[in-house]
Amino acid sequence: MPLCNADAATFFQFTPLTMRKIFFLSLMLSLLTGFSYAQIPEDKSQLEKERQEIQRELKEIQALYNKVKGQTKQTLGQLNMLKRKIDLQEQYISNINKELKSIDDDIYLSNLEIYRLQKQLDTLKIQYARTVVYAYKNRSNYDYLNFIFSANSFNDAVKRITYLKSYRAYREKQVATILETQQLIAQRKQQQLGRKTQKNVALENQTKQVQELAVQKKEKDVVVNQLKSKEKDLQGQIAVKKKRDRDLQNAITAIVRREIESAKAKAKAEADAIRKADELARKNTTPLPGNNTTEVTGDVTTKRKETAKKPDSYLNFNATDIALNNKFELNRAKLPWPVDNGVLTLRFGTNKIENTLLTFDNPGITISTPASGVPVKAVFDGEVSGVYNLGDGMAITIRHGKYFTTYSNLSNVSVAKGALVKTGQQIGKVGKDDDGSGGQIDFILMIEVRNVDPLPWLRR
């Protein structure tokens, strides 16, 4: 198509408006794309990781429950396993619901993006059509050479050539942008189909898991009713657990108090040593007239008294304990589990048996394992404060500054009192559970003499 003065006029007439619109639409597109296609994959990855962890624990607890499922005697352990299964199943369904919401949000944002791209494409086509139509109507007025040679000067001719080249490049860019936008729309529509397929799969899985949850709840109700009909047996099981927990708690408390008294004695000895050193320094110092030795000695004594004053906790007194406590606190939600492939079957605190008035308190958490005899590991660096036998199993208490962890119901131990242990070091083996079909360990965390829930401290 011949180029002319009208082409140049058209170029300068449409370029600013068109480029402003293209820039605005491109900016909106980039912001939208950055939100919908950068954030959602990250969320999806996190959801997938969470789902895999839930599936792993569900598989493990199902394997544990299958061992006791056929037993005629219903026990508290069986009920706890079923309740944990239901908790996990509900978490699984919640995870699927989050995935469905993520997919719906992605589809909505993608639809919005396709709409904007379509508007951008329409604008590009309209602008391009105007330039083509205007140039076509004025194509016979001047040809390329006439437009160049009608320049008033050589510099003006060079400018006209530059303008025409820019205009030609602009027209080519218009065509390329239209094609790219069309391809982008096609890609987004294809992605929409993929996300809708994912949604259908997630909906099918949701239906399946809801049905599975209903089956688990019925199974739990059967066990609860059987336990309720044998409430005396259940009371006996709870009474045994309460006595065992009470004996364990008394033993741990005695150990903790002994450690506090020991730390207090060391702090007192240190304070006495400082006091004697100050008295000796005052006796050996003879102040001279005009000398400020007394003032200096007084300043030193004051500083030492400040150092030797009673701390808030004698287990957070010396530099070693302070560092260890800080390190322990920084590892909240990062501590390893005391056993590999363990399943939480009883939570910390008050537990109630459904459809009964029976309740009991758990001083820590109860973790079940596929079999007894599996290794038990220290969850953090520390010193063994006690190794003791409770009659039906061994227990180990480890001090980590002012924090104490206890591992109870061990079949044997591999450390002695006073031993220094490292994170992940084997300290014993898991004993049998109440049903005798697997392993079980009671894990307790205390801050001095106060029990706290260990679960938020363990790695998820």
For 241, 340, 396, the CA distances from 226, given in Å and listed in that order, are 20, 32, 36
With a cut of 90, say whether residue 405 has pLDDT above it.
yes
| CA–CA gap between residue 213 and residue 93 (Å, rounded) | 9
With a cut of 80, say whether residue 305 has pLDDT above it.
no
Beta bridge partners of 412: 429
- Which of 65-74, 253-262, 376-385, 400-409 bottoms out in mean pLDDT, i.e. has the lowest? 65-74
Average pLDDT, stretch 31-57?
A: 68
CATH of domain 230-284+298-460: 2.70.70.10
**What does pTM read for this prediction?**
0.65
| CA–CA gap between residue 181 and residue 303 (Å, rounded) | 75
Residue 14 has what pLDDT?
42
Average pLDDT, stretch 399-420?
A: 96
Q: How many CB atoms lie within 10 A of CB 43?
A: 15
With a cut of 80, say whether residue 174 has pLDDT above it.
no
Percent of the chain with pLDDT over 70: 78
With a cut of 60, say whether residue 299 has pLDDT above it.
no
| CA–CA gap between residue 77 and residue 436 (Å, rounded) | 11
User: For residues 92 and 54, is the Cβ–Cβ distance under 8 A?
Assistant: yes
With a cut of 60, say whether residue 286 has pLDDT above it.
no
β-pairing verdict for 382-389 and 403-413:
unpaired
With a cut of 80, say whether residue 113 has pLDDT above it.
yes
DSSP code string of 132-153: HHHHHHTTTT--HHHHHHT-SS
Question: Tens digits of per-residue pLDDT, 156-168?
Answer: 777 777 776 776 7
Average pLDDT, stretch 103-107?
A: 87
Residue 352 has what pLDDT?
81
- Higher pLDDT, residue 37 or 146: 146
In whole angstroms, how large is the CA radius of gyration of the chain?
A: 38
Question: Tens digits of per-residue pLDDT, 339-361?
Answer: 998 888 888 998 887 767 778 89
114 falls in which pLDDT band (50, 70, 90)? Answer: confident
Beta bridge partners of 405: 398, 445
| CA–CA gap between residue 373 and residue 433 (Å, rounded) | 11
Average pLDDT, stretch 180-204?
A: 88
- Which of 8-17, 152-161, 232-241, 311-320 bottoms out in mean pLDDT, i.e. has the lowest? 8-17
| CA–CA gap between residue 425 and residue 336 (Å, rounded) | 11
Residue 211 has what pLDDT?
93
**Cα-to-chain-centroid distance, residue 437:** 33
What does residue 167 show for φ and ψ, rounded to 5 degrees? -65, -40
Percent of the chain with pLDDT over 90: 31
- Supply the mean pLDDT for the chain: 80
Residue type, 404: F
Range list for CATH 2.70.70.10 in the chain: 230-284+298-460
> CB under 8 Å, gap of 24 or more: what pairs does 298-301 form?
none
Average pLDDT, stretch 92-104?
A: 90
268 falls in which pLDDT band (50, 70, 90)? Answer: confident
Average pLDDT, stretch 383-411?
A: 94
Q: Which of 424, 392, 394, 414 is nearest to 406 (CA)?
A: 394
With a cut of 70, say whether residue 146 has pLDDT above it.
no
Q: Is 459 left (phi over 0), alpha (psi -120 to 50) or beta?
A: beta
> CB under 8 Å, gap of 24 or more: what pairs does 392-397 form?
392/244, 392/431, 393/431, 394/428, 394/431, 395/248, 395/251, 396/427, 396/428, 397/251, 397/252, 397/255
The tokens of 11 are what? Answer: 């170029």
Residue 9 has what pLDDT?
44
53: buried, middle or exposed (CB in 10 Å: 19+, 13-18, 0-12)?
middle
122: enclosing H helix or E strand: helix 76-137
Residue 23 has what pLDDT?
45
With a cut of 90, say whether residue 11 has pLDDT above it.
no
Average pLDDT, stretch 151-160?
A: 74
Average pLDDT, stretch 195-216?
A: 91
Average pLDDT, stretch 394-409?
A: 96
Q: How many CB atoms lie within 10 A of CB 188?
A: 18
With a cut of 90, say whether residue 223 has pLDDT above it.
no
| CA–CA gap between residue 164 and residue 98 (Å, rounded) | 56
